[in-house]
Structures are given as C-alpha cells and as structure tokens.
Amino acid sequence: MRGPEPNKPLVRLEGVSKHFGEGETRVDALREVSLEVFPRQVVALLGPSGSGKTTLLNIIGCILDPSVGSMELDGELVLRDGEWQRGDLRRLRLDKIGFIFQFHNLLPFLDATDNVAVVLQLAGVDITAARKRAGELLNDLEVGHRRQAMPAKLSGGEAQRVAIARALANSPRIILADEPTAALDSKRAGIVMDFLRKLAVERDAAVIAVTHDEKIFDRFDHIFQLRDGRLEQA
C-alpha cells in the first residue's frame, strides 16, 4: 500500500456472479465476487485461463451483463441485483472508463495521432485541442516520434502504446487493462506501468489490470487471484 486512501472506493462490487448456459451446460464464470478498489490504487487480477478474469473486467467496464450482484462506479450505483440502473452505458464508459485491451484494435485508416484524438472528438473536444492532447500522451509513452505513422507501419509495442494513449485520452478515473504489457519488453512495460501509476496518483484514478507479466508485479498495490470464478487476495 502506498500512502493513505480516501474512504470511498471508485469501484465497488458486491456479490457479482456470471453464468453462461443453463442446466447441464451451465458454466459459472464468476461466483459471488466482492471487490473494492480505491482512488490511487493499481491492482492486478491473476488466474489461469478460464478463471473469470476477463469476464470480471468486462462487467466492471459495463460491457457484459452479470447474472446477479450490485456495482458502484465513482460513487454511482450502476448495477443493482443484476439489473443496470443507468440507460446510457455508452456515455458512462466514455466519461469514466478507459479500456486497454490485449490487442490494440487501432483504426487502420487513421494515423497514431488521430487514433487517440478521435476519442476526444467523440466527447465533444475540437480537433485542434484533441490532436494536441493526443500528441502529449504519445510523447509521455515515448512513441511521439511515430505520431504520423499508420497502424500497419507500427511495431507491436508501438501500436500497444498508441492504444494505451487512446484509452487515457478522456482522463478516465477508472482504467481497465487486459494484459497491457504483453507486447512490451521489460523497459517499455516499466514505462507504461509507471505512467499508469502517475495518472492514478495525479487524477485520483484507479487501475485494474489482468496480467500474467511477472516483470510488473512489483508495480501493484494489491494482487487478487481468481480461482474457478472466486476472488481471493494473493
């Protein structure tokens, strides 16, 4: 733990479960998961393939419907007894949540700068300010020299850092990352995690990362383990 924590969690889950199918084909991906993540915390979710890590991340990101449970994000009750309490989940994601995926998913017809700036434009920022902010983020992640490159011309590590810049463009307070450093060497992985730590501290944000990358384990405040859909502190 690094320093004092505010009393109010940014992410709070209570009794969240998710199953797929029914009867003999039913699979319980998550079983009564309860979790609190506070501002300025960077936490990891570990577990073998099929343990429920990505399912949990997608529920926190309001992408996947849970079967039961409740959830608060940034003080707002968004899920109660398995039912969404907010109609416009897209706007919630745009305003409060930044997603970093294992695969960069950059738009192939936009250069690096515009792949980041487009998120800001969707939020109503004018193109000049959006491109300026994009350039700053790309510089912070040491990929500013590739700002005019198209995705097909970027290395895997460069594309991943552009995708991370895109995820952070709207200054989200909740950052969800699925294997964010898988395509990066030790040095670049450290740069990315240190940058996420800096953002968490400066913006009172929370970072939740699914990872198997042992070289970044020392960057986390807490490490949680998922086993057969159940959450345990490692």
Q: Is 84 helix (H, G, I), strand (E, B) or coil?
A: strand
| pTM for the model | 0.85
pLDDT digits (tens, 9 = 90+) for 68-84: 999 999 999 999 998 99
Q: How distant, in Å, are the alpha carbons of 37, 108, 130, 147, 230 from that of 111?
A: 35, 8, 14, 7, 41
pLDDT digits (tens, 9 = 90+) for 126-177: 999 999 999 999 998 889 999 999 999 998 888 888 998 998 898 899 999 9
Q: Average of pLDDT values for 49-68?
A: 90
Q: 56: pLDDT confidence band, cut at 50, 70 and 90?
A: very high
Is the CA virtual torsion 41, 46, 52, 58 positive or negative? positive
CB 229 within 8 A of CB 201: no
- For 234, other C-beta atoms within 10 Å of its C-beta total 13
Q: Specify the CATH number of the domain 11-233.
A: 3.40.50.300
Which residue matches tokens 């405040």?
221
Q: How distant, in Å, are the alpha carbons of 1, 85, 128, 139 from that of 157?
A: 29, 38, 27, 14
Domain ranges of the chain: 11-233
pLDDT of residue 3 exceeding 50: no
Name the more confident of 183 and 18. 18
pLDDT of residue 99 exceeding 70: yes
